[in-house]
């Protein structure tokens, strides 16, 4: 079982490893592209 700290490190490592690769349609929200503008951000393709 992973500790919370280990899970956070693993998540960060996976995000870095997958950076630049398009997310499949069924990917979790954290893999979807984010658009930012002044004072807010939203996930592309989500309401």
| Confidence grade of residue 47 (pLDDT, cut at 50, 70, 90) | very low
pLDDT at residue 27, rounded to an integer: 76
Q: Which two tokens stand for residue 41?
A: 């951000």
pLDDT at residue 6, rounded to an integer: 92
- Please write the tens of the pLDDT for every residue from 8-44: 899 888 888 887 778 778 877 776 666 556 665 555 5
| Confidence grade of residue 46 (pLDDT, cut at 50, 70, 90) | very low
Q: Which domain holds residue 33?
A: 4-43
| Confidence grade of residue 3 (pLDDT, cut at 50, 70, 90) | very high
Domain count for the chain:
1
Q: How far is CA 12 from CA 8, 9, 28, 45, 46, in A?
A: 6, 5, 14, 23, 23
């Amino acid at each position: 079982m992973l500790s919370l700290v280990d899970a956070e490190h693993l998540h960060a490592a996976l995000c870095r490893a997958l950076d630049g690769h398009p997310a499949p349609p069924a990917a979790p929200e954290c893999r979807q592209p984010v658009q930012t503008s002044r004072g807010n951000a939203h996930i592309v393709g989500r309401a």
